[in-house]
Amino acid sequence: MLESLASRPAGDVPTRSATDDGVRVLFDVGHPAQVHLFRNAITGLESLGHETYVTSREKEVTVDLLDAYGIAHTTLTTRGDSLPALLSEQLLHETRLFSVARRFDPDVVVSRLSPVPAHVSRLVGCRSVAVSDTHIDKRLVRLLYHGVTLPFVDTLCVPESFELSIDDAKRRPMDFQELAYLHPAYFDPDPDILWNHGLTPDETFFVVRVAGWDAYHDAGYAGLSPPAIRRLVDMLSEEGAVFVSAEDTLPTDLEAHRLPTDPENIHHVLHYADLYVGDSGTMSTEAALLGTPAIRTNTMVGDDDENVFQQLEDRYELLRSFADEDQALRAVQQLLARGIDRIDWDERRDRLLAEQPDVTRLIVETILESEADAT
């Protein structure tokens, strides 16, 4: 299927023909995590005879991932680096997405919860299916964002615990959304990928993640500080190799630890790692779902933490979260001193997989269900 998707030239938007009898689905992808979230659904829809197309946004490695997976797409905009630039980009993205949608003539527009694709779906007269697992803590930002988005969304896939001002008939429960690409049905860890990048699956190594903290929902929060990163790297280096995954430039003394793998291979590295420590919510969840001991630390952590993080910690014991980075580092020390039994962690992961659904299948069913409702 990847070959058939790759054979279509990027930017060549397929138009509807009189013989089309499948559902036409336009995916708007604006973040690397969304590439992973939707890529198996795209493949599944294509295998069922439906037509898909992807529009993208130049942010971090989004375009690189789409290219690596052979998914044809049209890049519409590049992420702005200031509030005025972001607002300008949103307007430009909406204009260009509308142009692509008019040519593609979709039955459904699929995206993360965002005003732009929701508006465009209404403008071209098709349905909007949105997926979200990000809670916006700032009340004013949340009200504004949801106010200009939710009225235009037809179906919203969110964790069951989310409180949203949307009709229950429009909601579809979807927890642990990273299982869309980390479920064993779609992910098979490949040790050769590690060998190709100078890593050895059997050696002890650790992954440290430093996120960018520049998204709208990150405002006012912070992750690992440079001194804490150095302390963490020094501590872990006594036990094995340490690799740092970072969105931004690292200090010179830490650059030598930068993870050498290509972005599309990060989950293979996480699977074989002995421990993950980082401030990213997404990668912390990914490591936990792969059965890798995971410690998450950022100032978002608190009593009102998202239910997904709470379940991973309290119900499945695959993740520990700390608002205080010093406490997180002490937890790392304790875990290393106690020793890591990977068989035990694999059993915890197996329990989660036995209790949770196939998220990609749910996404595909929701897309096709939405179109069936429309007809």
So what's the pLDDT on residue 292?
97
Domain ranges of the chain: 2-182+358-374, 191-355
The strand ranges marked E within 259-366 are: 275-278, 294-297, 319-322
Q: Which residues of 31-61 are buried (b: 16+ CB within 10 A; e: fewer)?
A: bbbbbbbbbbbbbbbbeeebbbbbbbbebbb
Same fold, 2-182+358-374 and 191-355: yes
pLDDT digits (tens, 9 = 90+) for 72-122: 999 999 887 777 888 888 899 999 999 999 999 999 999 999 999 999 999
Q: How confident is the model at residue 202 (pLDDT cuts 50, 70, 90)?
A: confident
Domain 2-182+358-374, CATH among 3.30.930.10, 3.10.310.40, 3.40.50.2000, 3.10.150.10: 3.40.50.2000
The two three-digit tokens of residue 122, written as one number? 């209404």
Query: At a CB cut-off of 8 Å and minimum separation 6, what does 42 contact?
Result: 5, 25, 27, 52, 54, 71
pLDDT digits (tens, 9 = 90+) for 334-370: 999 999 998 999 999 999 999 999 999 999 999 998 5
pTM: 0.87
Q: Homologous superfamily of 191-355 in CATH?
A: Glycogen Phosphorylase B; (3.40.50.2000)
Q: How confident is the model at residue 6 (pLDDT cuts 50, 70, 90)?
A: very low
131: left (phi over 0), alpha (psi -120 to 50) or beta: beta
- Average the pLDDT over each of 108-117, 140-149, 285-294, 332-341 and give the range with the smallest value: 140-149
Burial of 342 (0-12, 13-18, 19+ CB in 10 A): exposed
